Amino acid sequence: MQRYDVTFQLTSPTAKFTAMERVGMVILGLGLLTWVVALWGIGIDQPALMFWGGLAAIATSAFIYFQRYLNRPAGINNDGVWLNSAMAGVKGLVGWTLGIVFTGFYIILYWQDAWLANFVTIFEPLSQLLRNQPADKWFMYGTLYTLAVLIMGVRMLYKYRHNKYQILRTISVMFFQLGFAFLIPSLLVMFNQPEFYFSYFWPLKYDYLWPSSIDWLTGSGKLGVFMVFWGGLMFFLATPILTFFYGKRWYCSWVCGCGGLAETLGDPFRHLSDNSVKAWKYERYIIHGVVVFVVVTTALLWTNSATSGAVLGQASASFSKWYGFLIGLIFAGVVGTGFYPIFGNRVWCRFGCPMAATLGMLQKWFSRFRITTNGGQCISCGNCSTYCEMGIDVRWYAQRGQNIVRSSCVGCGVCAAVCPRGVLKLENGPREHRYNGPVLIHNDRVSVVLDDDWQAETKGMMPVHQEDIPVLTDSDWKGMG
Ligand code: SF4
Ligand code: SF4
Protein backbone atom coordinates (compact mmCIF):
# COMPACT_ATOMS: atom_id res chain seq x y z
CA MET A 1 0.00 0.00 0.00
CA GLN A 2 1.35 3.42 -0.92
CA ARG A 3 1.77 5.93 1.91
CA TYR A 4 1.39 9.64 1.37
CA ASP A 5 3.05 12.28 3.52
CA VAL A 6 0.14 14.67 3.65
CA THR A 7 -0.40 17.49 6.11
CA PHE A 8 -2.97 20.23 6.24
CA GLN A 9 -0.86 22.41 8.49
CA LEU A 10 -0.20 25.91 7.21
CA THR A 11 3.02 26.14 9.18
CA SER A 12 5.64 23.60 10.01
CA PRO A 13 6.18 23.20 13.77
CA THR A 14 9.71 21.91 13.42
CA ALA A 15 12.30 22.85 10.85
CA LYS A 16 14.00 19.68 9.64
CA PHE A 17 17.59 19.78 8.44
CA THR A 18 18.19 19.12 4.76
CA ALA A 19 21.07 16.95 3.57
CA MET A 20 23.00 20.09 2.59
CA GLU A 21 22.45 21.61 6.02
CA ARG A 22 23.79 18.47 7.63
CA VAL A 23 26.93 18.87 5.52
CA GLY A 24 27.06 22.46 6.76
CA MET A 25 26.89 21.22 10.37
CA VAL A 26 29.89 18.99 9.77
CA ILE A 27 31.82 21.92 8.26
CA LEU A 28 30.83 24.08 11.25
CA GLY A 29 32.09 21.42 13.63
CA LEU A 30 35.42 21.26 11.80
CA GLY A 31 35.76 25.07 11.84
CA LEU A 32 35.04 25.29 15.57
CA LEU A 33 37.39 22.40 16.23
CA THR A 34 40.17 24.22 14.35
CA TRP A 35 39.84 27.14 16.75
CA VAL A 36 39.19 25.15 19.92
CA VAL A 37 42.31 22.97 19.55
CA ALA A 38 44.36 26.18 19.35
CA LEU A 39 43.56 26.64 23.07
CA TRP A 40 45.95 23.78 23.74
CA GLY A 41 48.58 25.14 21.39
CA ILE A 42 47.81 22.74 18.54
CA GLY A 43 48.58 24.31 15.16
CA ILE A 44 49.53 27.74 16.51
CA ASP A 45 52.84 27.62 14.64
CA GLN A 46 50.62 28.18 11.57
CA PRO A 47 48.44 31.01 12.94
CA ALA A 48 47.23 32.37 9.59
CA LEU A 49 46.15 28.91 8.44
CA MET A 50 44.35 28.23 11.73
CA PHE A 51 42.58 31.61 11.80
CA TRP A 52 41.52 31.82 8.15
CA GLY A 53 40.85 28.07 7.86
CA GLY A 54 38.56 28.10 10.89
CA LEU A 55 36.84 31.28 9.76
CA ALA A 56 36.30 29.96 6.22
CA ALA A 57 34.67 26.80 7.59
CA ILE A 58 32.41 28.67 10.05
CA ALA A 59 31.36 31.24 7.43
CA THR A 60 30.71 28.55 4.79
CA SER A 61 28.51 26.55 7.15
CA ALA A 62 26.62 29.69 8.13
CA PHE A 63 25.87 30.59 4.53
CA ILE A 64 24.76 27.04 3.77
CA TYR A 65 22.36 27.23 6.69
CA PHE A 66 21.10 30.71 5.77
CA GLN A 67 19.98 29.40 2.36
CA ARG A 68 16.85 28.15 4.09
CA TYR A 69 15.68 31.78 4.29
CA LEU A 70 16.10 32.18 0.52
CA ASN A 71 14.20 28.96 -0.13
CA ARG A 72 11.11 30.34 1.59
CA PRO A 73 8.72 32.96 0.28
CA ALA A 74 9.69 36.49 1.32
CA GLY A 75 8.18 37.47 4.66
CA ILE A 76 8.85 36.59 8.24
CA ASN A 77 8.65 32.92 8.96
CA ASN A 78 9.09 32.05 12.60
CA ASP A 79 7.74 28.51 12.44
CA GLY A 80 8.58 26.29 15.35
CA VAL A 81 10.59 28.91 17.23
CA TRP A 82 9.23 27.85 20.61
CA LEU A 83 9.77 24.17 19.82
CA ASN A 84 13.34 24.61 18.68
CA SER A 85 15.76 23.47 21.34
CA ALA A 86 18.10 26.42 20.75
CA MET A 87 15.49 29.13 20.42
CA ALA A 88 13.33 27.96 23.30
CA GLY A 89 16.00 29.45 25.57
CA VAL A 90 15.98 28.04 29.09
CA LYS A 91 13.45 25.45 28.03
CA GLY A 92 15.83 23.95 25.47
CA LEU A 93 19.05 22.04 26.00
CA VAL A 94 20.84 23.92 23.23
CA GLY A 95 19.65 27.23 24.72
CA TRP A 96 21.15 26.32 28.09
CA THR A 97 24.36 25.12 26.46
CA LEU A 98 24.72 28.33 24.45
CA GLY A 99 24.03 30.45 27.55
CA ILE A 100 26.71 28.59 29.51
CA VAL A 101 29.22 28.83 26.61
CA PHE A 102 28.64 32.59 26.12
CA THR A 103 28.77 33.36 29.85
CA GLY A 104 31.77 31.08 30.39
CA PHE A 105 33.64 32.82 27.57
CA TYR A 106 33.21 36.23 29.25
CA ILE A 107 34.25 34.89 32.67
CA ILE A 108 37.43 33.40 31.19
CA LEU A 109 38.09 36.56 29.14
CA TYR A 110 37.97 38.80 32.22
CA TRP A 111 39.36 36.62 34.99
CA GLN A 112 41.26 33.69 33.46
CA ASP A 113 42.75 35.23 30.33
CA ALA A 114 45.91 33.11 30.64
CA TRP A 115 43.79 30.19 29.39
CA LEU A 116 43.27 32.07 26.13
CA ALA A 117 46.94 32.87 25.45
CA ASN A 118 47.38 30.18 22.75
CA PHE A 119 44.08 31.04 21.12
CA VAL A 120 45.03 34.73 20.92
CA THR A 121 48.14 33.68 18.98
CA ILE A 122 46.12 32.73 15.89
CA PHE A 123 44.95 36.38 15.64
CA GLU A 124 48.55 37.54 15.38
CA PRO A 125 48.76 37.86 11.54
CA LEU A 126 45.56 39.94 11.43
CA SER A 127 46.70 42.13 14.31
CA GLN A 128 50.04 42.77 12.63
CA LEU A 129 48.27 43.60 9.36
CA LEU A 130 45.76 46.05 10.86
CA ARG A 131 47.62 47.47 13.87
CA ASN A 132 51.28 46.56 13.46
CA GLN A 133 51.06 45.31 17.05
CA PRO A 134 51.02 41.88 18.70
CA ALA A 135 47.54 40.45 19.22
CA ASP A 136 46.06 40.70 22.68
CA LYS A 137 42.86 39.40 24.22
CA TRP A 138 40.93 42.60 23.43
CA PHE A 139 41.90 42.47 19.76
CA MET A 140 40.80 38.82 19.70
CA TYR A 141 37.51 39.78 21.35
CA GLY A 142 36.91 42.72 18.98
CA THR A 143 37.58 40.48 15.97
CA LEU A 144 35.16 37.78 17.14
CA TYR A 145 32.55 40.43 17.98
CA THR A 146 32.83 41.99 14.53
CA LEU A 147 32.71 38.62 12.78
CA ALA A 148 29.56 37.72 14.73
CA VAL A 149 27.87 40.96 13.62
CA LEU A 150 28.92 40.46 9.99
CA ILE A 151 28.03 36.78 9.65
CA MET A 152 24.75 37.00 11.53
CA GLY A 153 24.06 40.28 9.74
CA VAL A 154 23.96 38.33 6.47
CA ARG A 155 21.36 36.08 8.09
CA MET A 156 19.28 39.16 8.94
CA LEU A 157 19.55 40.38 5.34
CA TYR A 158 18.32 37.02 4.06
CA LYS A 159 15.56 36.68 6.63
CA TYR A 160 14.17 40.21 6.29
CA ARG A 161 14.87 40.65 2.59
CA HIS A 162 11.30 41.80 1.92
CA ASN A 163 11.65 44.71 4.32
CA LYS A 164 13.62 47.79 3.23
CA TYR A 165 13.86 49.23 6.75
CA GLN A 166 15.41 46.04 8.12
CA ILE A 167 17.86 45.81 5.22
CA LEU A 168 19.09 49.39 5.66
CA ARG A 169 19.27 49.07 9.43
CA THR A 170 21.24 45.83 9.26
CA ILE A 171 23.70 47.24 6.71
CA SER A 172 24.11 50.26 8.97
CA VAL A 173 25.01 48.26 12.12
CA MET A 174 27.40 46.08 10.08
CA PHE A 175 29.05 49.21 8.64
CA PHE A 176 29.48 50.97 12.00
CA GLN A 177 30.80 47.85 13.72
CA LEU A 178 33.30 47.04 10.97
CA GLY A 179 34.41 50.60 10.25
CA PHE A 180 34.00 52.63 13.41
CA ALA A 181 34.40 49.98 16.09
CA PHE A 182 37.04 47.76 14.49
CA LEU A 183 39.03 49.07 11.51
CA ILE A 184 39.42 52.74 12.50
CA PRO A 185 40.53 52.00 16.11
CA SER A 186 42.99 49.41 14.74
CA LEU A 187 44.45 51.88 12.23
CA LEU A 188 44.74 54.52 14.96
CA VAL A 189 46.87 52.09 16.95
CA MET A 190 48.99 51.43 13.85
CA PHE A 191 49.72 55.16 13.54
CA ASN A 192 50.45 55.51 17.27
CA GLN A 193 47.30 57.50 17.94
CA PRO A 194 44.91 56.95 20.88
CA GLU A 195 42.63 53.94 20.34
CA PHE A 196 39.34 55.78 20.06
CA TYR A 197 35.83 54.58 19.16
CA PHE A 198 34.02 57.31 17.25
CA SER A 199 30.68 55.48 17.47
CA TYR A 200 30.61 55.33 21.28
CA PHE A 201 29.88 58.31 23.53
CA TRP A 202 29.41 59.09 27.21
CA PRO A 203 27.56 57.67 29.14
CA LEU A 204 27.85 54.34 27.26
CA LYS A 205 31.60 54.80 26.94
CA TYR A 206 31.57 56.15 30.45
CA ASP A 207 35.21 57.19 30.69
CA TYR A 208 35.15 59.45 27.60
CA LEU A 209 34.07 62.40 29.75
CA TRP A 210 36.26 61.56 32.72
CA PRO A 211 39.11 64.00 33.47
CA SER A 212 41.82 61.33 33.18
CA SER A 213 40.67 60.38 29.64
CA ILE A 214 40.43 63.99 28.56
CA ASP A 215 43.94 64.68 29.91
CA TRP A 216 45.26 61.63 28.07
CA LEU A 217 43.58 62.55 24.76
CA THR A 218 44.47 66.25 24.80
CA GLY A 219 48.05 65.36 25.71
CA SER A 220 48.42 63.10 22.69
CA GLY A 221 48.25 65.73 19.96
CA LYS A 222 45.79 67.45 17.63
CA LEU A 223 43.88 64.28 16.80
CA GLY A 224 43.38 63.66 20.52
CA VAL A 225 41.98 67.18 20.94
CA PHE A 226 39.61 66.50 18.04
CA MET A 227 38.48 63.27 19.75
CA VAL A 228 37.57 65.18 22.91
CA PHE A 229 35.71 67.73 20.78
CA TRP A 230 33.94 64.89 18.90
CA GLY A 231 32.86 63.16 22.14
CA GLY A 232 31.44 66.41 23.53
CA LEU A 233 29.76 67.32 20.25
CA MET A 234 28.09 63.94 19.90
CA PHE A 235 26.79 63.81 23.45
CA PHE A 236 25.77 67.42 24.02
CA LEU A 237 24.56 68.38 20.52
CA ALA A 238 24.10 65.50 18.08
CA THR A 239 22.43 63.15 20.57
CA PRO A 240 19.55 65.47 21.53
CA ILE A 241 19.04 66.73 17.97
CA LEU A 242 19.02 63.30 16.33
CA THR A 243 16.83 61.88 19.09
CA PHE A 244 14.39 64.74 18.67
CA PHE A 245 13.98 63.93 14.97
CA TYR A 246 14.28 60.14 14.92
CA GLY A 247 13.89 58.82 18.48
CA LYS A 248 16.54 56.64 20.08
CA ARG A 249 16.54 54.30 17.10
CA TRP A 250 19.14 56.42 15.27
CA TYR A 251 21.65 55.12 17.82
CA CYS A 252 20.31 51.93 19.44
CA SER A 253 19.27 50.21 16.22
CA TRP A 254 21.50 51.84 13.60
CA VAL A 255 24.89 52.72 15.13
CA CYS A 256 25.61 51.14 18.51
CA GLY A 257 27.83 48.06 18.59
CA CYS A 258 25.93 46.51 21.54
CA GLY A 259 22.68 47.04 19.64
CA GLY A 260 24.36 45.71 16.49
CA LEU A 261 25.28 42.45 18.20
CA ALA A 262 21.80 42.19 19.73
CA GLU A 263 20.17 42.70 16.33
CA THR A 264 22.34 40.15 14.52
CA LEU A 265 23.73 37.45 16.81
CA GLY A 266 20.84 38.03 19.20
CA ASP A 267 17.99 38.02 16.68
CA PRO A 268 17.15 34.31 17.14
CA PHE A 269 16.54 34.99 20.84
CA ARG A 270 14.43 38.16 20.65
CA HIS A 271 11.20 36.36 21.59
CA LEU A 272 12.69 35.37 24.97
CA SER A 273 12.46 38.93 26.31
CA ASP A 274 10.08 39.05 29.25
CA ASN A 275 7.14 41.37 28.49
CA SER A 276 5.49 41.17 31.90
CA VAL A 277 4.67 44.31 33.88
CA LYS A 278 6.94 43.02 36.64
CA ALA A 279 9.94 42.97 34.28
CA TRP A 280 9.09 46.50 33.13
CA LYS A 281 9.10 47.73 36.75
CA TYR A 282 12.51 46.19 37.46
CA GLU A 283 13.77 47.60 34.15
CA ARG A 284 12.87 51.19 35.08
CA TYR A 285 14.50 51.07 38.51
CA ILE A 286 17.67 49.30 37.42
CA ILE A 287 18.44 51.23 34.24
CA HIS A 288 17.84 54.62 35.85
CA GLY A 289 19.92 53.50 38.83
CA VAL A 290 22.81 52.89 36.42
CA VAL A 291 22.39 56.41 34.98
CA VAL A 292 22.59 57.86 38.50
CA PHE A 293 25.69 55.74 39.16
CA VAL A 294 27.53 56.99 36.06
CA VAL A 295 26.49 60.64 36.60
CA VAL A 296 27.60 60.56 40.26
CA THR A 297 30.87 58.87 39.31
CA THR A 298 31.61 61.46 36.62
CA ALA A 299 30.70 64.35 38.94
CA LEU A 300 32.90 62.93 41.71
CA LEU A 301 35.84 62.54 39.37
CA TRP A 302 35.53 66.13 38.15
CA THR A 303 35.14 67.44 41.70
CA ASN A 304 38.19 65.52 42.72
CA SER A 305 40.12 66.78 39.72
CA ALA A 306 39.13 70.41 40.41
CA THR A 307 40.22 70.15 44.06
CA SER A 308 43.34 68.08 43.31
CA GLY A 309 41.88 65.23 45.32
CA ALA A 310 41.60 67.31 48.49
CA VAL A 311 37.84 66.93 48.98
CA LEU A 312 37.05 63.34 48.13
CA GLY A 313 40.36 61.52 48.34
CA GLN A 314 40.05 57.93 47.13
CA ALA A 315 36.22 57.92 47.06
CA SER A 316 35.96 58.92 43.41
CA ALA A 317 38.58 56.36 42.37
CA SER A 318 36.62 53.61 44.17
CA PHE A 319 33.42 54.71 42.45
CA SER A 320 35.03 54.59 39.00
CA LYS A 321 36.61 51.20 39.75
CA TRP A 322 33.31 49.72 40.92
CA TYR A 323 31.41 51.23 38.01
CA GLY A 324 33.88 49.72 35.53
CA PHE A 325 33.71 46.32 37.25
CA LEU A 326 29.98 46.03 37.92
CA ILE A 327 28.57 47.78 34.88
CA GLY A 328 31.31 47.67 32.24
CA LEU A 329 32.37 44.08 32.88
CA ILE A 330 29.65 42.08 34.56
CA PHE A 331 26.51 43.76 33.23
CA ALA A 332 27.53 44.75 29.70
CA GLY A 333 29.58 41.63 29.04
CA VAL A 334 28.78 38.57 31.12
CA VAL A 335 25.06 39.17 31.61
CA GLY A 336 24.35 41.39 28.61
CA THR A 337 25.56 38.95 25.98
CA GLY A 338 25.92 35.70 27.89
CA PHE A 339 22.25 35.64 28.80
CA TYR A 340 20.88 36.06 25.25
CA PRO A 341 19.52 32.49 25.22
CA ILE A 342 18.00 32.94 28.66
CA PHE A 343 16.48 36.44 28.90
CA GLY A 344 16.49 37.58 25.25
CA ASN A 345 18.85 39.68 23.19
CA ARG A 346 18.50 43.08 24.80
CA VAL A 347 19.19 42.35 28.48
CA TRP A 348 21.92 44.98 28.63
CA CYS A 349 19.98 47.56 26.60
CA ARG A 350 16.82 47.09 28.69
CA PHE A 351 18.27 46.86 32.17
CA GLY A 352 21.78 48.28 32.16
CA CYS A 353 22.71 50.70 29.38
CA PRO A 354 22.95 54.32 30.60
CA MET A 355 22.98 55.55 26.99
CA ALA A 356 19.68 53.76 26.28
CA ALA A 357 18.19 55.27 29.45
CA THR A 358 19.32 58.78 28.50
CA LEU A 359 18.05 58.44 24.94
CA GLY A 360 14.84 56.93 26.31
CA MET A 361 14.13 59.98 28.46
CA LEU A 362 14.70 62.24 25.45
CA GLN A 363 12.52 59.98 23.31
CA LYS A 364 9.69 60.01 25.78
CA TRP A 365 9.55 63.77 26.35
CA PHE A 366 11.22 65.56 23.43
CA SER A 367 11.04 63.39 20.34
CA ARG A 368 8.91 63.26 17.20
CA PHE A 369 9.12 59.47 17.08
CA ARG A 370 6.15 57.21 17.71
CA ILE A 371 4.73 53.94 16.38
CA THR A 372 1.25 54.49 15.07
CA THR A 373 -1.30 51.68 15.21
CA ASN A 374 -4.16 51.16 12.84
CA GLY A 375 -6.05 49.30 15.52
CA GLY A 376 -9.08 48.50 13.41
CA GLN A 377 -6.93 46.07 11.43
CA CYS A 378 -5.42 44.26 14.43
CA ILE A 379 -6.39 40.60 14.72
CA SER A 380 -4.70 40.22 18.13
CA CYS A 381 -2.33 37.53 16.89
CA GLY A 382 0.36 38.79 19.29
CA ASN A 383 3.29 38.46 16.88
CA CYS A 384 4.35 42.03 17.64
CA SER A 385 4.50 41.48 21.41
CA THR A 386 6.23 38.13 21.04
CA TYR A 387 9.04 39.51 18.88
CA CYS A 388 9.51 42.85 20.64
CA GLU A 389 13.01 42.51 22.01
CA MET A 390 12.38 45.27 24.57
CA GLY A 391 9.51 43.38 26.16
CA ILE A 392 6.86 45.94 25.16
CA ASP A 393 3.34 44.57 24.92
CA VAL A 394 2.78 46.10 21.47
CA ARG A 395 -0.52 44.31 20.96
CA TRP A 396 -2.01 46.10 23.99
CA TYR A 397 -1.58 49.39 22.13
CA ALA A 398 -2.57 48.02 18.73
CA GLN A 399 -5.87 46.66 20.03
CA ARG A 400 -6.77 50.16 21.24
CA GLY A 401 -5.51 52.03 18.21
CA GLN A 402 -3.17 53.89 20.51
CA ASN A 403 0.24 55.32 19.54
CA ILE A 404 3.23 53.62 21.11
CA VAL A 405 5.46 56.17 22.83
CA ARG A 406 7.73 54.23 25.14
CA SER A 407 11.13 55.26 26.42
CA SER A 408 12.44 51.70 26.02
CA CYS A 409 11.47 51.23 22.35
CA VAL A 410 14.67 51.05 20.27
CA GLY A 411 12.80 51.44 16.99
CA CYS A 412 14.04 48.13 15.58
CA GLY A 413 10.83 47.91 13.56
CA VAL A 414 10.52 44.14 13.93
CA CYS A 415 7.04 44.46 15.46
CA ALA A 416 5.93 46.16 12.24
CA ALA A 417 7.82 43.63 10.10
CA VAL A 418 6.15 40.58 11.70
CA CYS A 419 2.63 42.04 11.79
CA PRO A 420 0.52 40.15 9.24
CA ARG A 421 -1.95 43.03 8.96
CA GLY A 422 0.32 46.03 8.48
CA VAL A 423 -1.03 47.64 11.63
CA LEU A 424 2.17 49.23 12.90
CA LYS A 425 4.16 52.07 11.38
CA LEU A 426 7.29 53.80 12.70
CA GLU A 427 6.86 57.54 12.22
CA ASN A 428 8.56 60.85 12.98
CA GLY A 429 5.62 63.23 12.94
CA PRO A 430 4.63 66.46 14.67
CA ARG A 431 4.77 66.22 18.46
CA GLU A 432 1.19 67.36 18.95
CA HIS A 433 -1.16 64.45 19.72
CA ARG A 434 1.75 62.05 19.89
CA TYR A 435 0.23 60.66 23.06
CA ASN A 436 -3.29 59.67 22.12
CA GLY A 437 -5.77 57.75 24.18
CA PRO A 438 -7.46 54.61 22.86
CA VAL A 439 -9.47 55.43 19.75
CA LEU A 440 -11.36 52.15 19.77
CA ILE A 441 -13.98 51.20 22.34
CA HIS A 442 -12.55 48.30 24.25
CA ASN A 443 -14.55 46.21 26.69
CA ASP A 444 -12.72 47.73 29.65
CA ARG A 445 -13.76 51.23 28.49
CA VAL A 446 -17.56 50.79 28.47
CA SER A 447 -19.08 52.27 31.59
CA VAL A 448 -22.66 52.35 32.92
CA VAL A 449 -24.17 55.83 33.13
CA LEU A 450 -26.01 56.20 36.43
CA ASP A 451 -28.63 58.71 35.45
CA ASP A 452 -32.05 57.83 36.90
CA ASP A 453 -34.22 59.03 33.98
CA TRP A 454 -31.96 57.60 31.37
CA GLN A 455 -31.63 54.33 33.30
CA ALA A 456 -35.41 53.92 33.53
CA GLU A 457 -35.89 54.45 29.82
CA THR A 458 -33.09 52.21 28.72
CA LYS A 459 -33.13 49.43 31.26
CA GLY A 460 -31.30 46.39 29.91
CA MET A 461 -29.66 48.29 27.04
CA MET A 462 -25.96 49.02 26.64
CA PRO A 463 -25.01 52.69 27.03
CA VAL A 464 -23.32 53.51 23.76
CA HIS A 465 -23.23 57.31 23.65
CA GLN A 466 -19.66 58.33 22.85
CA GLU A 467 -19.86 61.29 25.20
CA ASP A 468 -20.68 59.00 28.15
CA ILE A 469 -17.39 57.19 27.82
CA PRO A 470 -14.57 58.86 29.75
CA VAL A 471 -11.79 60.13 27.51
CA LEU A 472 -8.30 60.31 28.97
CA THR A 473 -6.22 63.35 28.19
CA ASP A 474 -2.67 63.51 26.84
CA SER A 475 -1.29 64.01 30.34
CA ASP A 476 -3.03 60.85 31.60
CA TRP A 477 -1.20 58.82 28.97
CA LYS A 478 2.11 60.56 29.49
CA GLY A 479 2.21 58.97 32.94
CA MET A 480 2.70 55.57 31.30
CA GLY A 481 6.21 54.24 30.57
S1 SF4 B 1 8.02 48.25 20.01
FE2 SF4 B 1 8.61 47.49 17.95
S3 SF4 B 1 10.18 48.93 17.24
FE4 SF4 B 1 10.00 49.19 19.48
S5 SF4 B 1 11.56 47.83 20.35
FE6 SF4 B 1 9.62 46.67 20.28
S7 SF4 B 1 9.70 45.54 18.31
FE8 SF4 B 1 11.27 47.18 18.20
S1 SF4 C 1 1.12 41.62 14.99
FE2 SF4 C 1 -0.34 43.09 14.08
S3 SF4 C 1 -2.29 41.98 13.98
FE4 SF4 C 1 -0.95 40.81 15.38
S5 SF4 C 1 -1.45 41.66 17.45
FE6 SF4 C 1 0.28 42.85 16.68
S7 SF4 C 1 -0.64 44.63 15.67
FE8 SF4 C 1 -2.28 43.11 15.94
Residue 212: band (very low, low, confident or very high) from pLDDT cuts 50, 70, 90 = confident
Give distance in angstroms: CA of 307 to centre of ligand 1. 45
pLDDT tens digit sequence for 345-392: 999 999 999 999 999 999 999 999 999 998 789 999 999 999 999 999
* Spacing, Cα 428 to ligand 1 middle (Å): 15
Q: What is the pLDDT of residue 434?
A: 85
pLDDT digits (tens, 9 = 90+) for 96-114: 888 888 888 888 888 888 9
| Atom 1 of ligand 1: nearest residue by CA position | 409
pLDDT score at 450: 52
Q: For residue 470, is pLDDT > 80? A: no
- pLDDT confidence bin for 148, thresholds 50/70/90: very high
The CB of 411 under 6 Å from ligand 1? The reply is yes
Between the CA of 10 and the centroid of ligand 1 the distance, in Å, is: 27
Please give the pLDDT value at position 111.
Answer: 84
Top pLDDT among 428 and 446 is at 428
* Ligand 1 center from residue 6 Cα (angstroms): 38
Residue 289 or 78, more confident = 289
Reported confidence tier of residue 445, pLDDT bands at 50, 70, 90: low
- The predicted structure's pLDDT at residue 70: 86
Please choose, from the candidates 278, 198, 194, the residue with its C-alpha nearest in 3D space to the C-alpha of residue 234: 198
**What tens digit of pLDDT does each residue of 180-190 get?**
999 999 999 99
Calculate mean pLDDT across residues 68-80.
Answer: 76
Residues near ligand 2 with C-beta < 6 Å? 378-384, 394-395, 398, 419-421, 423-424
pLDDT for residue 435 is more than 70: yes
* pLDDT at residue 20 greater than cutoff 60: yes
Return the residue whose CA atom lies nearest to atom 8 of ligand 2.
Answer: 378
Q: Is the pLDDT of residue 460 over 60?
A: no
Taking only the tens place, the pLDDT of each residue in 293-335 is 889 888 888 888 888 777 666 666 676 677 777 777 777 777 7
| Ligand 1 center from residue 370 Cα (angstroms) | 10
For residue 442, name the pLDDT band (cuts at 50, 70, 90).
low
Task: Check residue 406 and give its pLDDT.
Answer: 95
Residue 300 Cβ inside 6 Å of ligand 1? The answer reads: no
Which residue's C-alpha comes closest to atom 6 of ligand 1?
388
pLDDT for 477 equals: 56
Q: How confident is the model at residue 339 (pLDDT cuts 50, 70, 90)?
A: confident
Q: pTM score, two decimals? A: 0.85
Confidence of residue 6 (pLDDT cuts 50, 70, 90): low
**Ligand 1 atom, smallest distance to 408 CA:** 5
- The protein residue whose alpha carbon is closest to atom 2 in ligand 1 is 415
